[in-house]
């Protein structure tokens, strides 16, 4: 299976086969994601929660994104790399260009992702005109947690569906390369998917999108709490906890390390040393 090398190639996959994206934030996660041959790695600003211990994505800075993206890029040089622009880093076209430019230049990203609809069209157009591929993100947009009044499923009223579809149309016309749809009803995601020519990538948006994206920790079962829309595909947390507990028991019980897992010096050299250092 040929994997996309550029954001433009994401467009060609629409209607061909489902796309598989996953987030990654560090070297190990990125190496695993690339080894599993995903279509794209997203350095999401969800790293604020998964890696930095914040309760929202709002405190995440451009420096944080550049730092984590550089690490991810070192581990996954052959995988399409999409990087989130954090809260307030794209509030006007000029600010967005400076910050997106840093992410593209310092982290060798292939595209940036921005949350929002009609409001951010001038920003999207400016970045695309400057040659920076942009991914859109509609529905449950975590940077708007306060406006949404919490992390709630979006587009559940007729008016909200209308606005979302119109936002999607405008983003597609502005030149985005793909559109993440988060936390919306499956029928709404299907409608958007049929309406726009760009691929839609769902997370908590049902099965009718052109692809799926999952947060790394949710995908492999590392999260303490799993969202309703996630099936963990591994039992990472149990496996790791079990490993650390077994290590602890082995050290306390004196079974680790054993001779097989120790380095040795020859009897001859040891005797030589003892003769030279009589106690
Ligand atoms: O920040 C993130 O990880 C995201 C995904 C949930 C799509 O935006």
Report pLDDT for 248.
98
- Asked whether residue 1 is assigned to any structural domain, the reply reads no
CATH code of the domain containing 31: 3.20.20.60
Among protein residues, the one with the nearest Cα to ligand 1's atom 1 is: 44
Is residue 109's pLDDT more than 90? yes
Q: Looking at the DSSP assignment, which residues form a beta bridge with residue 20?
A: 212
Does one domain contain both 162 and 272?
A: no
Does one domain contain both 224 and 249?
A: no
Measured from the Cα of 45, ligand 1's closest atom is: 1
Rounded to the nearest whole angstrom, what is the distance from the C-alpha of residue 85 to the centroid of ligand 1? 11
Sign of CA dihedral 131, 135, 141, 143: negative
Looking at the chain, how many residues does it have?
279
Measured from the Cα of 201, ligand 1's closest atom is: 7
Percent of the chain's residues with pLDDT above 70 = 100
Report pLDDT for 1.
84
Does one domain contain both 250 and 125?
A: no
Ligand 1 pocket mutation pick from 20, 84, 136, 137 by most atoms within 8 angstroms of CB: 84
Mean of pLDDT over the chain: 97
Rounded to the nearest whole angstrom, what is the distance from the C-alpha of residue 258 to the centroid of ligand 1? 44
Rounded to the nearest whole angstrom, what is the distance from the C-alpha of residue 254 to the centroid of ligand 1? 44
Does one domain contain both 12 and 140?
A: yes
Say which of 182, 249, 268, 269 is annotated catalytic. Answer: 182
Report pLDDT for 257.
97
Rounded to the nearest whole angstrom, what is the distance from the C-alpha of residue 44 to the centroid of ligand 1? 5
Report pLDDT for 223.
87
Per the structure, the count of domains in the chain is 2
Arithmetic mean of pLDDT, 42-50? 98
Does one domain contain both 114 and 250?
A: no
Does one domain contain both 113 and 226?
A: yes
Among protein residues, the one with the nearest Cα to ligand 1's atom 8 is: 44
Rounded to the nearest whole angstrom, what is the distance from the C-alpha of residue 270 to the centroid of ligand 1? 58
CA angle, residues 18, 13, 153, in degrees to nearest 5: 50
Does one domain contain both 187 and 55?
A: yes
Confidence bin at 62 (pLDDT 50/70/90):
very high
| Ramachandran class of 17: left when φ > 0, alpha when ψ lies in -120 to 50, beta otherwise | beta
- Asked whether residue 183 is assigned to any structural domain, the reply reads yes
Are 38 and 79 in contact by the 8 Å Cβ rule? The answer is: yes
- Asked whether residue 134 is assigned to any structural domain, the reply reads yes
Measured from the Cα of 215, ligand 1's closest atom is: 3
Does one domain contain both 34 and 165?
A: yes
Percent of the chain's residues with pLDDT above 90 = 97
In the chain, what are the helix, strand and coil shares in percent, each to the nearest 5? 45, 15, 40
Is residue 279's pLDDT more than 90? no
Report pLDDT for 225.
84
* Residue 275: count of CB within 10 angstroms of its CB: 8
Domain that holds residue 249: 239-276
- Asked whether residue 2 is assigned to any structural domain, the reply reads no
Q: Is 39 helix (H, G, I), strand (E, B) or coil?
A: coil
Arithmetic mean of pLDDT, 225-252? 95
Does one domain contain both 263 and 125?
A: no
**Helices (DSSP H) in the chain: which residue ranges?**
7-13, 27-35, 47-50, 62-75, 93-107, 121-129, 145-148, 158-174, 186-195, 216-219, 236-252, 267-276
Does one domain contain both 171 and 245?
A: no
pLDDT digits (tens, 9 = 90+) for 146-199: 999 999 999 999 999 999 999 999 999 999 999 999 999 999 999 999 999 999
Arithmetic mean of pLDDT, 58-71? 98
Query: Has 166 been annotated as catalytic?
Result: no
- Asked whether residue 28 is assigned to any structural domain, the reply reads yes
- Asked whether residue 162 is assigned to any structural domain, the reply reads yes
Does one domain contain both 170 and 267?
A: no
- Asked whether residue 53 is assigned to any structural domain, the reply reads yes
d(CA 68, CA 1): 28
Measured from the Cα of 23, ligand 1's closest atom is: 3
Does one domain contain both 164 and 268?
A: no
Location of structure tokens 């650390």: 244
Ligand 1, CB within 6 Å, residue ranges? 23, 42, 44-46, 84, 137, 180, 182, 203, 213, 215
Report pLDDT for 53.
96
Are 41 and 72 in contact by the 8 Å Cβ rule? The answer is: yes
- Asked whether residue 177 is assigned to any structural domain, the reply reads yes
φ/ψ (deg, to 5) at 182: -115, 135
Ligand 1 pocket mutation pick from 83, 180, 201, 223 by most atoms within 8 angstroms of CB: 180
């Amino acid at each position: 299976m040929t994997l996309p090398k550029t954001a433009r190639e994401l467009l060609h996959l629409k209607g061909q086969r489902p796309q598989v994206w996953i987030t990654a934030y560090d070297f190990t996660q990125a190496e695993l994601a690339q080894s599993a041959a995903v279509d794209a790695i997203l350095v999401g600003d969800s790293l604020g929660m998964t890696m930095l211990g914040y309760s929202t994505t709002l405190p995440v800075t451009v420096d944080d994104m550049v730092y984590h993206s550089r690490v991810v890029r070192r581990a996954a040089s052959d995988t399409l790399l999409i990087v989130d622009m954090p809260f307030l880093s794209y509030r006007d076209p000029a600010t967005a260009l400076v910050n997106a430019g840093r992410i593209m230049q310092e982290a060798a990203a292939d595209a940036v992702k921005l949350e929002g609809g009609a409001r951010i069209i001038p920003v999207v157009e400016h970045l695309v005109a400057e040659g920076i591929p942009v991914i859109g993100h509609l529905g449950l947009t975590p940077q708007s947690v306060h406006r949404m009044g919490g992390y709630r499923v979006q587009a559940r009223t007729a008016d909200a569906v209308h606005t979302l579809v119109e936002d999607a149309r405008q983003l597609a016309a502005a030149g985005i390369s793909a559109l993440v749809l988060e936390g919306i009803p499956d029928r709404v995601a299907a409608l958007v998917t049929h309406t726009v020519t760009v691929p839609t990538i769902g997370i908590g948006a049902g099965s009718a999108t052109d692809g799926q994206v999952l947060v790394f920790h949710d995908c492999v079962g590392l999260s303490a709490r799993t969202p309703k829309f996630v099936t963990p595909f591994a039992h990472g947390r149990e496996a790791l906890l079990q490993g650390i507990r077994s290590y602890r028991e082995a050290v306390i019980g004196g079974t680790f390390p054993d001779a097989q897992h120790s380095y040795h010096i020859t009897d001859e050299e040891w005797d030589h040393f003892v003769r030279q250092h009589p106690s």
